[in-house]
Each structure stands twice: as structure tokens, then as C-alpha cells.
Amino acid sequence: MRPLPLSTLIVAAAVALPVVAKLPALSDEAKAKAAEATAKAAWTDKVGLYQLSKSMDRVADGYRKTPVAAGKEVPRPSAVPCVDPGPYAAPVTPAASKPLEAAGAHSPPGPAVSPPSTNTPAAQAQGEVKK
């Protein structure tokens, strides 16, 4: 087997170099969307497992009815219940991300769970003492 020519190695390195480059950090909005997508996917998985569990219970009930009709002993069902995940609830913006200014002009995106404004000046909220 013969070694690769130097020009081939240089071209391969030039093509591979951009692949190794570091991508810029995600913005806060992109991080929030990714977190919401992760939460939605986890909830969807729970719903799928719940539906699978219910269908397995229906099949097992049908299986148990057959030996009863023939007068045979029936195996006992498992003690693991199906847990309904409930409706999807979007993640809430944490309270720490609320703005410090009283007007709330730079409020973060997301559903409001409390009023954005307070009567406390920003200096007191941050623990600084007025002189």
C-alpha cells in the first residue's frame, strides 16, 4: 500500500478544520425553547407509556377471562398501577428572572405568574444601602 500524497493530506485537513470549529453559545431564547421541547418530549413519552400500560391491562384482562370460562386457575395481576401523566403543563419562567426595575420594562418572555412591578427600589432589592 502506498502512502497518500502530501497535497491530499492538506486538502483533507482544510476540509476537516471547519468541522472542528466551536459553535457560538445558544441565546437565552434558544435555551428556553430547547428546555420546553425537552419537557414536551418527556411528557409525550409518559403519555405513550400510560397508553401502553392501559392496552396491556386490557389484553391481560381478556387473557384472564379465557381460563375462568374453562374452570382453570387464573394468574394474579401485577400490583403495578397505570399512572396517568395528566395534561401537559409548560415550564414556568422562574421568579429569579423577574426584572429589578419597578416599571418592568424588560420583562422576560413567558407566562406571568405574578406582577412584574414592585414598590421596592432596585438598590434595596439588591441589598445596597443608599448614602
The average pLDDT across 87-103 equals 64
- Determine the pLDDT at residue 91: 76
The average pLDDT across 94-103 equals 54
- Determine the pLDDT at residue 66: 80
Domain boundaries along the sequence of the chain:
41-66
- Determine the pLDDT at residue 9: 72
List, for residues 40-93, the tens digit of each pLDDT value: 999 999 999 999 999 998 988 888 888 777 778 877 777 778 889 899 888 775
DSSP per-residue letters across 99-127: -SSSS-TTPPSS--SS-S--SS-HHHHTT
Helix (H) or strand (E) holding 63: helix 28-70
Q: Mark residue 82 as left, alpha or beta (left: phi above 0; alpha: psi -120 to 50; beta: remaining).
A: beta
Regarding predicted confidence, which is higher, 31 or 65?
31
Average pLDDT, the chain: 77
User: What distance in Å separates the CA atoms of residue 95 and residue 125, rounded to the nearest whole number?
Assistant: 14
